[in-house]
Structure 1
C-alpha cells in the first residue's frame, strides 16, 4: 500500500494517530487543574513507566489539554548533564512574560521577573550552565540568597502569586525527571510543597522511569503525599487493538482479526512497538485487509529496525562489563531478577558487581522494583541482548 498514507508514527515522543488507553490519566490531570484554579487542594502528578510506554506523548497531550483550557504552560526536559535551574529558568521567564501581558497579573508577574533575575544571578555561582535573558533588575532579598531550595521556593511562590492575580494557573511539564540530581530534586519538591500550603494555582506534571518515585521519596520523605504517581504501562489487548485498527480504518484500510492479535502478541501492548509494527505491516501489505502473513513478514523488518535504532543506541553507551551484566539478566528471562542470581550467572559475588549495577541504574538501563531486585527499563531488551550477544561466548569474555 502507498507509504505516503501510512498513518503510524514510530519515533521518540512522536504522537500516535490514536492515543488509546490514556483517557483516565488525562481526566485526572484535568480535574487537578480545575480544582487548583478554584483554590481547592490537588496533587501534582508524576507519570512513571518503562521506555516506550508513551510517557512523553501523554505528557505533551496533557499540556495541550491544559493550554486548551486557558492556563499558562511551561515545558522542559531534564537531560543528563544539565542542571534543573538551567532548563527551568528560561521557561519560567516566558511564562512570567505571558502573565505580565494580563493587566490583573502585570504587577505580580513583574515582581516574579525580578525574583528570576535575583535567582539567576545567585545560581550562576553554583550552576555555570544557566543562560537566560533578564528583563528587570533584581529586587534585593527576593530569591537571591544563594540557597537553591529557599530561592527556588521563593521564585515559584512569585510565579504562583502572579497566576493567582491573573485568575489563571501555571502548569509546568517536566520530562525525564529521573535525571535531576537529588539536591535539585529536593529543592523542587520543597518549592511545590510551599506552593501547595499557600494554595497557589501552580502544578507540576512530570514523567520519568520507574525509579523516579523512589528517588523523590529519598529527596523528601513527604513526596509521596505531595504527588500522585500513575503507572503508565503497556496497553491492554482492547486498547492495543484500537491503536492499530483505528488509524488504518481512517485511511480506508482494514486488518484481519488474527493479524491484529499477532501484532499485540509481538509488541506485548507497548505503544512504541505498536507503532513500529503498524508501520511495517502497512508498508508490506499489498492491499486491504492486512493479513497475518503480512504481519509475520513485517515483524522481521520491525525487529531489525528496533535493533538498529531503539535498542542499539542504548547498547552502544554501555561498557563491556555493563553489557555482560545485562546479558546475564537476559539469560535469566525478562525479569525482574534477584541481584544474587545475576551475579551467580556471571560467576561473581554480588558485592563485586555493585558499581556496574549502579552505573546501569544511572544510565537508565535498569531499576530496582524492590530491594535486591533488578529489572530492565527498556521493554523486550532481554530479547535484543540475546540477539546481539548470542551463544555462550559472552560468559567467558573479560569484564
Structure 2
C-alpha cells in the first residue's frame, strides 16, 4: 500500500485517526465544559493510566473541545525540575490578556493582573522579557506560601472569566511529577474555585499512583476529582481503532489480521498504532492480511525496542536497571517487593531507596501495599527479549 496514505502515525501524544473506546470519557468532559460556562460546578478530572494508553491524546481532545465551547485554555506538562508556579505564571498572564478584550471583564482582569504581579514578586518568578505592567496588590497572593497564594490567584482569574462570559480550563500532563507541595496547592485552589462557583475547570493526566498522591496531599481530593481509568482497549474497540482508519482510506483489513494485532498488542493504543502502521506498509494491493500483520511483528518490535522502551530504560542508573531486570525475570507482574529483594539477595529495607528512585522516575508504581508493577505496558517482555544486550 502507498505509505503516503498510511493513516497511522504513532508518536508521543499524536492524535490517532480514531479515538475508539474513549467516548464516555470525552462525553463526561463535554458536559463538565458546558456546565463551567454556566458557572455550574463539576468535578475536575484526572486521567490515570500506564504509558502509551493515550492520556495525552485525551488531554489534547479535551482542550480542543473546551476551545470550541468558549473556554480559554492552558496546557502544561509538569516537569521534574520546575515549580508549578513557574510553569503557570506565563499561562495565567496569557489567559488574562485574552480575557481583557471583553469590555465587561476589564475591571476584573485588572484586579487579577495585580494579583498575578504580587504572586510573581513573592515567588521571585520571571516571565522572559515580558513584564506584567500593573502595580502589585498588597496583601493578595503575596505571602510566599503557594497553598495560600495560588487559590487567591485562581479566584481572581475565575472572577475575570465569569465577567467575560468565558471559562478557563487548565490541563496538566504528567501530574505525578508535581511535588507534594505543588499538588496540594493545586488541589486547594480547585476546591476554592468550586466553593465560589467560578468557571474554572481542571483536567490532569498521570500514572496510576496520582490518585494516592492526591489523597496524601489533601484528604478531600477523592471528592474533588473524577479519576477515569485509561487502559488497554477492549477487543471490539481495539479492532475499530485499526479498521476504521484503514477503511477511511478505501482499503480493507481482514478479521484474522485484526485478531492477530489485538493479541500481540493486548489492546494498548500506542502499540496498536505502531502495528497498524507497519502492517499497512507491508501490505500489497488494498487488503491487509493476517500474513502482513505477522510479518509486521519484527519491524514493530524493533521500533518499540529502540524508541518507546529504550528511552525509558536509558533513564535508569546501573543499579536501577539491575532492579527492573530482576522484576522482569519474575514474570509478568505485579511483583512483591520482597520477591525482588530475594532475587537480588538483599532485604526490602535496603532496596527501599532504590525502589523509591525508580518510582520517582515514573518507571514503576505500587498498585497495592507491598506490590510493584511497571508503568510501561509489556516492559517486562522488552527486558527479557533484550536480556543479552541489557543485562
TM-score, normalized by length of structure 2?
Answer: 0.97
- Number of aligned pairs? 390
Runs of 4 or more consecutive aligned structure 1 residues displaced over 3 Å after TM superposition: 128-133
**Cα distance in structure 2, aligned partners of 1:186 and 1:237:** 38
Q: Which residue of 2 aligns with 1:397?
A: none
- The answer to whether the aligner puts 1:45 opposite 2:45 as a matched pair is yes
Q: Which residue of 2 aligns with 1:217?
A: 215
**Cα distance in structure 2, aligned partners of 1:276 and 1:133:** 45
Q: Which residue of 2 aligns with 1:81?
A: 81
**Cα distance in structure 2, aligned partners of 1:316 and 1:121:** 39
Cα contact 2:120–2:126 (8 A) shared by 1:
no
Give 1:133-282 correspondences, 5 Å limit. 133-282=131-280
Cα contact 2:105–2:164 (8 A) shared by 1:
yes
Cα contact 1:337–1:375 (8 A) shared by 2:
yes
How far is the alpha carbon of 1:187 from its aligned partner? 0.8
Q: For residues 131-179 of structure 1, what are the alpha-carbon distances to aligned partners after superposition, in whole Å with 9 as ceiling and x for unaligned? A: 4631322122221121111111110010111111112211101111110
How far is the alpha carbon of 1:289 from its aligned partner? 1.1
Cα contact 1:90–1:133 (8 A) shared by 2:
no
**Cα distance in structure 1, aligned partners of 2:312 and 2:126:** 26
Q: Which residue of 1 aligns with 2:90?
A: 90
Cα contact 1:285–1:294 (8 A) shared by 2:
yes
Q: Which residue of 2 aligns with 1:101?
A: 101
How far is the alpha carbon of 1:288 from its aligned partner? 2.1
Cα contact 2:256–2:290 (8 A) shared by 1:
yes
How far is the alpha carbon of 1:347 from its aligned partner? 2.0
How far is the alpha carbon of 1:338 from its aligned partner? 1.0
Q: Which residue of 1 aligns with 2:72?
A: 72
Look up the SS of the partner of 2:41 in the other structure. Answer: coil
Q: For residues 62-100 of structure 1, what are the alpha-carbon distances to aligned partners after superposition, in whole Å with 9 as ceiling and x for unaligned? A: 110111111111111111111111111101111111111
Q: CA RMSD in A?
A: 1.4
Cα contact 1:160–1:201 (8 A) shared by 2:
yes
Look up the SS of the partner of 1:206 in the other structure. Answer: strand
Instruction: Return 5+ residue gaps in structure 2 as ranges.
Output: none
Q: Which residue of 1 aligns with 2:384?
A: 386
Look up the SS of the partner of 1:194 in the other structure. Answer: helix
Cα contact 1:83–1:129 (8 A) shared by 2:
no
**Cα distance in structure 2, aligned partners of 1:390 and 1:237:** 33
- The answer to whether the aligner puts 1:324 opposite 2:327 as a matched pair is no
Relative to structure 2, which stretch is displaced further, 55-64 or 138-147? 138-147
Cα contact 1:85–1:130 (8 A) shared by 2:
no
Q: Which residue of 2 aligns with 1:368?
A: 366
Q: Which residue of 2 aligns with 1:26?
A: 26
Closer/same/farther in 2, CA of residues 292 and 70 from structure 1, 3 Å limit: same
Closer/same/farther in 2, CA of residues 313 and 13 from structure 1, 3 Å limit: same
**Cα distance in structure 2, aligned partners of 1:274 and 1:30:** 26
How far is the alpha carbon of 1:37 from its aligned partner? 2.6
Closer/same/farther in 2, CA of residues 304 and 129 from structure 1, 3 Å limit: farther
**Cα distance in structure 1, aligned partners of 2:362 and 2:145:** 29
Instruction: Return 5+ residue gaps in structure 1 as ranges.
Output: 395-399
TM-score, normalized by length of structure 1?
Answer: 0.95
Q: For residues 279-302 of structure 1, what are the alpha-carbon distances to aligned partners after superposition, in whole Å with 9 as ceiling and x for unaligned? A: 100111122211111111111100
**Cα distance in structure 1, aligned partners of 2:127 and 2:383:** 39
Q: Which residue of 2 aligns with 1:308?
A: 306
